Structures are given as structure tokens and as C-alpha cells.
């Protein structure tokens, strides 16, 4: 007689997918602290009421569905101030002009890799409705803002691929840097509106260090980090990036992350 394999307990199932819930929440809110707050609120809700975790879904969609219920119940945090009064107010004003659930659908699909059918379970509705939301999101987000982007990437083929993607989106590329020192010099010579940075660079220098140095000199601006190990930067234990995509990436992931980041005029940075 063979033993029936034991199913992982709820805490184990949640722990496996929590880093990616943090990534989604941060990209959705444009802020590490706010995103992690919503992720924590989801965990607290699950501790208080296990039925919030829909046992009829696979563990990852069930966790994101629980988050979505918390997110929707709290209401979208739209600033009341004039759209030109502050970077945060401008970002929230732009968000208020978007069709409801479009950003959620886009992030779930392009960054987190959920299928349309999974997204329908997470946010509610049908697969056809989700497909429509995705189509609207791509148009609204891509056409919303264009700017000047600097790329920090030591692999030439990847750098050129990213350059082609962002230029096809209508952005200008100020240049490509392979090391921390090159990045700092390029930013001084031609200040970008946004930076898209790998974390591990050619000479063993850090893309994180490069970005922090640039932001110290030039001031806050949107950042998207690229890494092969995203879970290392999604712990919630220290200052971490709000926008993060994983290698190997897809064209849609880059498009979505860049579009989301450009919606926000400031970003979380990492220390050291």
C-alpha cells in the first residue's frame, strides 16, 4: 500500500508565492512600502479567515485572488489634489484616468505570467473580458507617457534587444552603459527620465550602486531593475525596488514594466 503524498500546508503554499505577490503589489502601487503593506494586509486576512484562500483555485491564483479582494475593498487611492501639484498627485491623477482593472490584468499577465483564465479567476469575470482589459491596458499604458531612457546592461545582445523594445514604444534611449562608472558618466552627460538597469554588471560592479549614485546626483526618477534572481530582492526586509523584471524576460514584460514605472515620478532605491 502506497502512502498518499501530503499536500503542503497553507503557510508553505503562501511562502512559495509571497515574493511574487510583493512584486505585483509594488508595481501596482508604484512603491515598495505601499505594496508590501497590501501584501501584509492579505496575509493578515488569511490568518483571520482561512476561507479567504479559495481552495478551489491553485495556490498562486488563490493567493493573488485574496490580495485582489483586499485591494478592491480598500478602493483605488486616487489623489484629490490638482494633477500638477506633486509627482505623487500627478501619478495618481493619471491612474484615475485608466479603465478599471486594466493595470491589474496587464501586470498579472505580463509580469507574473498568469494565463487569461487564471486572471479571470483572480479579478473576477470571464476570459473574454480579461482579453478586452489587456487590449485596453496596452493602449492606455503604452500611449500615456514617453521619455528618455538610459539602459545599464553588460550583455550587448540583451542591451540592444531592450533598446529596440523601448524605442518601439516611442521612448528615446540616451545610451547604454556596461559598468557602474560608465553609467554614472552617461547620466551626467545626458540625464535620463528613467533608468532600466541590470543588477550584476560586467566588471562585477553593481547596477544597484550605479542607480543609487545617479539618483543622489540627479534626483528621483523611475527605475526598472532586471535580475535573474528576483526573489532575492522581494523579501520586504530592506529598501528594495518597486519595479522588477526577471531574466529571461519577454518583450511584453519589458513593455509593461517600463509603462508602469513611467506612471510614477519617484521610485524606491536600494542601499548598498
**Interval 211-243: pLDDT, tens:** 999 999 998 888 899 988 887 777 776 667 778
3-state secondary structure of 186: helix
Q: Which helix (H) or strand (E) holds 211?
A: helix 207-218
**Cβ(112)–Cβ(24) below 8 Å:** yes
35-91 pLDDT, tens per residue? 999 999 999 999 888 888 887 899 999 999 999 999 988 765 544 444 445 555 555
Half-sphere exposure of 167 (CA within 13 A, CB side): 11
Q: Residue 94: pLDDT band by 50, 70, 90 thresholds?
A: low
> Which pLDDT belongs to residue 7?
56
The count of residues in the chain is 272
Q: Phi and psi for 196 in degrees, rounded to 5?
A: -115, 115
Q: Where are the beta strands (DSSP E) in the chain?
A: 148-152, 172-177, 194-198, 223-227, 244-246
Residue whose C-alpha cell is 509627482: 87
Whole-number average pLDDT of the chain: 83
1-21 pLDDT, tens per residue? 455 555 567 788 888 899 999
- More confident of the two residues 118 and 141: 118
CA quadruple 261, 246, 225, 155: dihedral, nearest 10: -130
Amino acid at each position: 500500500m502506497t502512502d498518499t503524498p501530503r499536500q503542503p500546508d497553507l503557510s508553505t503554499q503562501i511562502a512559495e508565492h509571497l515574493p511574487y505577490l510583493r512584486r505585483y503589489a509594488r508595481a501596482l502601487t508604484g512603491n515598495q512600502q505601499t505594496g508590501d503593506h497590501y501584501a501584509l494586509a492579505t496575509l493578515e486576512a488569511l490568518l483571520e479567515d482561512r476561507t479567504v484562500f479559495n481552495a478551489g483555485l491553485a495556490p498562486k491564483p488563490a493567493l493573488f485572488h485574496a490580495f485582489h479582494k483586499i485591494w478592491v475593498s480598500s478602493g483605488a487611492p486616487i489623489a484629490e489634489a490638482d494633477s500638477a501639484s506633486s509627482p505623487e498627485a500627478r501619478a495618481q491623477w493619471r491612474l484615475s484616468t485608466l479603465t478599471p482593472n486594466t493595470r491589474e490584468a496587464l501586470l498579472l499577465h505580463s509580469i507574473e505570467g498568469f494565463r487569461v483564465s487564471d486572471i479571470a479567476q483572480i479579478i473576477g469575470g470571464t476570459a473574454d473580458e480579461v482579453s478586452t482589459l489587456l487590449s485596453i491596458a496596452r493602449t492606455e499604458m503604452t500611449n500615456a507617457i514617453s521619455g528618455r531612457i538610459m539602459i545599464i546592461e553588460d550583455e550587448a545582445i540583451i542591451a540592444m534587444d531592450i533598446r529596440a523594445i523601448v524605442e518601439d514604444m516611442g521612448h528615446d534611449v540616451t545610451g547604454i552603459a556596461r559598468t557602474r562608472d560608465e553609467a554614472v558618466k552617461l547620466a551626467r552627460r545626458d540625464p535620463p527620465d528613467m533608468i532600466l538597469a541590470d543588477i550584476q554588471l560586467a566588471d562585477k560592479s553593481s547596477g544597484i550602486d550605479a542607480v543609487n549614485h545617479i539618483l543622489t546626483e540627479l534626483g528621483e526618477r523611475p527605475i526598472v531593475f532586471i535580475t535573474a534572481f528576483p526573489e532575492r530582492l522581494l523579501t520586504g526586509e530592506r529598501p528594495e525596488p518597486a519595479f522588477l523584471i526577471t531574466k529571461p524576460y519577454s518583450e511584453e514584460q519589458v513593455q509593461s514594466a517600463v509603462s508602469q514605472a513611467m506612471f510614477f515620478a519617484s521610485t524606491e532605491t536600494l542601499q548598498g
